[in-house]
Amino acid sequence: MPPEAASPAVAPPSLDPAGAERLTAWLRDYRPIPGVPDELFDATGRPRPHWLHFLGELADYPAGQIRSRFNLATRHIRDTGVSYRIYGEENERSWPINPVPLILDQVEWAKIAAGVEQRARLMESVLGDIYGDGRLVAEGAIPAAAITGSPDFIRPLRGVPPPGGRYLQLYAADLARAPDGRWWVLGDRTQAPSGAGYELENRLVLSRAYPSLYNAMNVERLAPFFDALRKGLASAAERKDPRICLLTPGPFSETYFEQAHLARYLGFLLVEGDDLVVRDGLAYVRTIAGLKRADVLLRRVDADFVDPLELNSASQLGVPGLLEAIRGGGVSVLNLPGSGVLESKALLGFLPRLCRRLLGEELKMPNVATWWCGQPAERALVRSRGDLAIAPAFNGTQTSDPFSRPRLMSDLSAKERAEFLRRLDDRPGDFVGQEVVRLSTMPVLRDDTLAAAPFVLRVYAAATPDGGFQIMPGGFCRTSDLMDVRAISMGEGARTADVWVISDKPVERVSLLANQDEVKVRRLMGHLPSRAADNLFWLGRYLERAEATLRLVRSLCTSLMDSEAAVHTSGETLSKLEELLIDWGALDEDSLGVRALEAARAALHDDEASGSVVTLIRRARRTAASMRERLSADFWTLLLNLENGFNDPSLRLVSEADALQQVESTLQILAALSGLAQENMNRAAGWRFLDMGRRIERAINTCRFTRALAHADATTDDLDLLLDLVDSQITYRARYLVGLAMTPVRDMVMLDPFNPRSMAFQVFALRDHLAALPSLVDDGMMEPPSRVLRVLSTEIETALAVDIDADAVHRFEGSLLSLSTAIADRFFLQGANAVPTIKLVGLA
């Protein structure tokens, strides 16, 4: 590109000698590939000024600081951010972030933005025709068969005006800079473009790692784009203050955390298909306060899966009747199911003509030359040229097929080539031939060396309320570690980079702060979805159960170490502890009678055992992960710390003291977690469910401990242990100087409303929670959970400790279990009142 296009005139930074030396070394060792355009060096081999500015400042950081700053920022964001996955570390986000962003000046960016904006308009217009009056096909501008091959051609929505007036809310184009220096479109994302959330994360990391540099370079902010996205979605609703949901395929989805992050950032409700129902042509979210209208769905579920009734009947991810609701205009789903039809490579070759025809404009940014083999002349051309790539014309073909991904003709073996040509003869419409695109390179920093790496850039456009599109000044950039610059070798990319668009004037500091006058003050976040209530409740239960198990293990260890309290050394108490652990599922049944250390080890670390501490902690973290958007960053970080303590392979428990130490440190984190929940969580319904889970679990556990240790034949050792387990030793000793006796112990652990560890205390707390939650009935009758609880609490209030025998405790425990079921039935998706949705059996 011509040197004068490189803009803002930035004075070369004044470096200290070490920095200057480093910069010189970086530039000296940087090797662009001959004949391939590079972002750092211009065509004359000189570094572009904005890159020089950035690298100069970067080099100026004291040695070792870049990496430590960057690592610190990355770790922080990773711990609190979007990249954490549920199912094991191996699935964690696959792309590390490049410490160097892709830097584009405004002149360059203006071209990209104009090209993407035009393309977004073109896409909207083509969709309007395909699903509208169909003139493009009828008049021969697009062959019908170039459309029908796409699994995203959703026939039931032909002729349906899109609710909200448009098909696309979010569009993205994958771009590459070709050898001629121009930007080319590699492909279009019209279904549900991913990656915008990752770009938010990348931006957070870089702006934290180099805050002053970020501010000094006038980097365009991302917030206005996301604001436009949100306003665009809101404008698609019928109601003025719409409820907007992000429809996700759920935690198994590859990009689930990106979706959760976006939902949280944008303030949308994250919902899965079975959180939603369609009634009378409208869509609703199931919440603890009943069905609440869902006005707009930002769709991340593939079109074919959104409605098992009218589309793929095997789908578990959709909402039965959703298409009917769309047809009736009762819900806006964006991008509208069916928009993905434009992702087909078959259509790429037709776009320049379509642009002229529909917009009366020349395509500003060319796409890769593509020939759909469904046309005879194009097929002949593809057959005759050995230098092309071949690719499936449509998405979603069988993945076991060797031709289901792009291949270079020249890479095919003789056998594969013959096979391909036969397939081409049999079903020509399944393939396209494409010019092989060569990518440009940008700098990546690896081990303090600057290297050139091929990259692809995804740029996003969001529809605005006025019908236009706003372009995100930035994007999702992926770089490859291979030096192969053919786009086809790129795959999913190895790393990502933030994308900085450099303004020549200082940028306004904006965040997602709305105009003051528009904001209606509200104190509660709307109705809690039933699924979230369920997850919070179980998170509370898992954490509490982990704590109880830890206390058992602690007693197990101290019984052998505590010389003074030789009390517990008797084999009897040891075996009682082991029995409790077995009952719990923390130990397997054969473990009865093993040495205390062995039992402690297993109860802490046996990941096969359903009730071991490690299993409970992992469950807690998974449960939390599926509602990541509802938990504070601190809470999440503590949960991760909790689990990390159990993942460290170097941690070996060789003595009771080791085990005890781990128990203590884990209990401390648990205490910090419950402290956070008490002090920092909003007193809304979500907190209540978390606390209810904790309370009910603690009450049940206290009953179990009491039954095992305060039965009729209990010894003072047993009672002593019981006080340890329910953490009431000090209170008891202070209150009763006479020593251990059955009745006062039973009173203190079961009935005492002032002891925060007693069963009674938990039950009264539960009563307060239920009273504060919404009721679904208006006939003055009590809902079942309240009814169960009323009986239980009355019994506790009126009971005398002398009457609390094993049977009574057993009865309390039974009531608590019924209460838990009643809560599940009333509030959660899988409860008995929310009956499962099942398919009618087929073949009638």
Partner 1 sequence: MIYALRHRTTYDYESRVTFARCVLRLTPRASATQTVMETLLEITPTPSRLFERLGPFGEMTTTVVIDTPHKSLIIEAHSRVDVHTPSGQLDFGAPWESIRARGLETVDLGCDGPASYLYPGVRTPIVPAITDYARLSFPAGRGVVQAASDLMRRIRHDFVYDPKATDVRTPPAEAFAVKRGVCQDFAHIMICGLRGLGLSARYVSGYLRTIPPAGQPRLEGADATHAWVSVWCGAERGWIGFDPTNDIVVQDDHIVLASGRDYSDVAPIDGIILAPGKQTLKVEVDVIPQEELRLLRPAFGAKVT
- Least distance to partner 1 from the beta carbon of 463, Å? 25
Q: How far, in Å, CA of 601 to CA of 580, rounded?
A: 15
- Least distance to partner 1 from the beta carbon of 783, Å? 18
- Least distance to partner 1 from the beta carbon of 379, Å? 10
CA angle at 766 for the pair 764 and 772, rounded to the nearest 5°:
110
Q: 389-392 and 431-434 as β-strands: parallel, antiparallel, unpaired?
A: antiparallel
**Which of 817, 783, 779 shows the shortest CA–CA distance to 289?**
783
Please, what is the end-to-end C-alpha distance for the chain in angstroms?
67
Q: How far, in Å, CA of 350 to CA of 369, rounded?
A: 10
- Least distance to partner 1 from the beta carbon of 360, Å? 23
- Least distance to partner 1 from the beta carbon of 194, Å? 24
> Which residues have a Cβ under 8 Å from the Cβ of 790 and sit 6 or more positions away?
767, 782
Kindly tell me the burial class for residue 216, based on how many C-beta atoms sit within 10 Å of its own C-beta (0-12, 13-18, 19 or more): middle
CB contact at 8 A, 263 and 255? no
**Which of 611, 446, 523 shows the shortest CA–CA distance to 96?**
446
CB contact at 8 A, 629 and 605? no
- Least distance to partner 1 from the beta carbon of 265, Å? 34
CB contact at 8 A, 509 and 112? no
Q: How far, in Å, CA of 39 to CA of 334, rounded?
A: 35
Q: How far, in Å, CA of 596 to CA of 655, rounded?
A: 10
Nearer to partner 1, 215 or 837 (CB): 837
- Give the tokens for residue 14: 């004044």
- Least distance to partner 1 from the beta carbon of 122, Å? 19
CB contact at 8 A, 555 and 617? no
Nearer to partner 1, 305 or 542 (CB): 305
- Least distance to partner 1 from the beta carbon of 324, Å? 6
CB contact at 8 A, 464 and 228? yes
Nearer to partner 1, 157 or 457 (CB): 157
- Least distance to partner 1 from the beta carbon of 645, Å? 41
- Least distance to partner 1 from the beta carbon of 140, Å? 6
Q: How far, in Å, CA of 34 to CA of 78, rounded?
A: 37
Distances 636 to 16, 92, 681 between C-alpha atoms, Å: 41, 16, 13
Nearer to partner 1, 232 or 321 (CB): 321
- Least distance to partner 1 from the beta carbon of 347, Å? 13
Q: Got the DSSP string for 510-577?
A: --SPPPGGGPPP-SS-SPPBHHHHHHHHHHHHHHHHHHHHHHHHHHHHHHHH-STTGGGGSHHHHHHH
Nearer to partner 1, 36 or 309 (CB): 309
Q: Report phi then psi at 697, rounded to 5.
A: -65, -45
Nearer to partner 1, 165 or 402 (CB): 402
**Which of 398, 88, 95 shows the shortest CA–CA distance to 252?**
88
Nearer to partner 1, 31 or 279 (CB): 279
Nearer to partner 1, 273 or 443 (CB): 273
Nearer to partner 1, 37 or 318 (CB): 318
Q: How far, in Å, CA of 392 to CA of 281, rounded?
A: 38
Q: How far, in Å, CA of 721 to CA of 710, rounded?
A: 10
Nearer to partner 1, 152 or 498 (CB): 152
Token pair 């209170």 is found at: 731
Nearer to partner 1, 397 or 632 (CB): 397
DSSP, collapsed to helix, strand or coil, labels residue 667 as helix
Q: Report phi then psi at 709, rounded to 5.
A: -120, -10
Contact footprint for partner 1 (CB under 8 A): 130, 134, 137-140, 143-145, 147-149, 155-156, 158, 278, 280, 308-310, 312-314, 320-321, 324, 374-376, 394, 397-398, 426-430, 832, 835-844
Nearer to partner 1, 345 or 698 (CB): 345
Nearer to partner 1, 802 or 832 (CB): 832
- Least distance to partner 1 from the beta carbon of 423, Å? 9
Nearer to partner 1, 162 or 454 (CB): 162
- Segment (H or E) for 381: helix 376-384
> Which residues have a Cβ under 8 Å from the Cβ of 142 and sit 6 or more positions away?
130, 136, 347, 350, 354
- Least distance to partner 1 from the beta carbon of 130, Å? 8
Amino acid at the residue 174? D
Nearer to partner 1, 372 or 732 (CB): 372
- Segment (H or E) for 109: helix 106-130
**How many residues would you count in the chain?**
844
- Least distance to partner 1 from the beta carbon of 832, Å? 7
Amino acid at the residue 790? R
Nearer to partner 1, 150 or 190 (CB): 150
Nearer to partner 1, 314 or 521 (CB): 314
- Least distance to partner 1 from the beta carbon of 328, Å? 10
- Least distance to partner 1 from the beta carbon of 127, Å? 14
Long-range contacts, 582-590 (Cβ 8 Å, 24+)? 583/704, 584/545, 584/548, 584/549, 584/552, 584/611, 585/609, 585/610, 585/611, 585/612, 586/549, 586/552, 586/611, 586/612, 586/613, 587/612
- Least distance to partner 1 from the beta carbon of 193, Å? 25
Nearer to partner 1, 575 or 821 (CB): 821
**How crowded is residue 654: how many other Cβ atoms within 10 Å of its Cβ?**
9
- Least distance to partner 1 from the beta carbon of 404, Å? 11
